[in-house]
Amino acid sequence: MKLLDSLKSLKPLEIGALVVFILFIILPARVPIALTGVFDSPIGILGLLVITIALFIYSNPVLGVVFILVAYELIRRGALNTGKPTTQLLTMENTNQASKDEALKKFNSPQEYTLEEEVIQKMAPASQNFIKMDGSDYKPVMEQTKGASLI
């Protein structure tokens, strides 16, 4: 009942704005490129927030609620025009696991060999000249420990 009473108390200017807002939400109108940059920036979003608060304070709250939907659509449609990353945040993509797997295969293409593997293939197996199996001439020498304690 309160909603009907608040709709009856709308002024002609508010009714016109409400009709324009509803038409913008329903119809698939594109946002002009010149306005896209305005609504896709932090200052533009702040401006939309200020307008929304002003509509709640100085006009009918129904107009403020509908303007929240208009602001969302302005940001979404503007981001669709520019192709900025905000489109990924505002629209949900219908993807399945198979398409995700294909994308991962493209990103992670198989590599033939890394640098380390190439070096090991060139060097392995170690030559017999490098490894002496007959023993070495090295003999460890232990020096006298003069004045050292036993503990």
91, pLDDT greater than 50: no
- Does position 26 have pLDDT exceeding 60, yes or no? yes
pLDDT for the residue numbered 38: 82
93 against 45, higher pLDDT: 45
Residue 75's nearest CA partner among 54, 50, 46, 45 is 45
For the record, the structure tokens of 86 come out as 């905000």
Rounded to whole angstroms, what are the CA distances from 53 to 110, 131, 150? 54, 82, 87
pLDDT for the residue 129: 59
Q: What is the mean pLDDT of residues 52-75?
A: 91
Q: Which residue has the higher pLDDT, 80 or 129?
A: 80
Residue 68 has pLDDT above 70, yes or no: yes
- Whether the CB-CB separation of 64 and 52 falls below 8 Å is answered with yes
In this prediction, residues 110-120 reach a mean pLDDT of 81
Is the pLDDT at 54 greater than 90? The verdict is yes
CB 126 within 8 A of CB 119: no
Six-digit token pair at 139? 């003999």
Round the average pLDDT of the chain to a whole number and report it.
78
Determine how many CB atoms are found less than 10 A away from the CB of residue 110: 5
Confidence band for 83, pLDDT divided at 50, 70 and 90: low
Task: Report, as an integer, the average pLDDT of 49-58.
Answer: 93
Average pLDDT, integer, range 4-24: 84
**Position 109 pLDDT exceeds 80:** no
Instruction: Judge whether residue 53 has pLDDT over 90.
Output: yes
